[in-house]
Amino acid sequence: MATSRDCPTRKSDVISKLETEQYVWVPSADGDGHTHLVPLSFHWDGGSLWWAVAKRSRTSLNLQRAGEARRAVGTGDDVVIMEGNVTVRVPGELDGNLRAAFHRQARWDPFANADGNVFFELTPKTVMAWRDESEIADRHVMVRGAWRC
């Protein structure tokens, strides 16, 4: 069993992963409980996770109905799971700097289809991170929107 990372190291690793990974796993469910799971490109702005989807897609409709989300970044042996409320944004409401930042991290331009896409912003309330079983007991690095370290 590996040695557990301390909280400051784990937080630093979480932020690094959010700044460098390209895809986030996005689960959702419709009102009847039919589930859906897709990997989507994302951008981390230092406080919120952003992604864009077609406004009439199953993912978009499910998330707009639910109003909250759980997202996973990484692999089973180095995962970050984030939970929080989601806010729907249309491209016209967004800061122009988001386009370049999103393109830099996500490697595509969701603004190119501005009439067809909506953006979702998740500001985390809870962030969990672990690499192996030794870290599961102390996996919460953010609770109620505040970093623990």
Q: What are the structural domains of the chain?
A: 7-147 (2.30.110.10)
The whole-number pLDDT of residue 1 equals 54
Alpha carbons 44 and 137: distance in angstroms, whole number: 26
pTM for the full model?
A: 0.86
CA dihedral 45, 48, 54, 55 (to 10 degrees): -130
pLDDT band at 116 (very low <50, low <70, confident <90, very high): confident
Alpha carbons 9 and 6: distance in angstroms, whole number: 5
The whole-number pLDDT of residue 69 equals 83
Alpha carbons 25 and 147: distance in angstroms, whole number: 22
Q: Over the stretch 52-82, which tens digit does the pLDDT of each residue have?
A: 999 899 999 998 888 888 899 988 889 999 9
Cβ pair 77, 131 in contact under 8 A: yes
Alpha carbons 142 and 72: distance in angstroms, whole number: 15
What is the distance, to the nearest Å, from the Cα of residue 67 to the centroid of all Cα atoms in its chain?
14
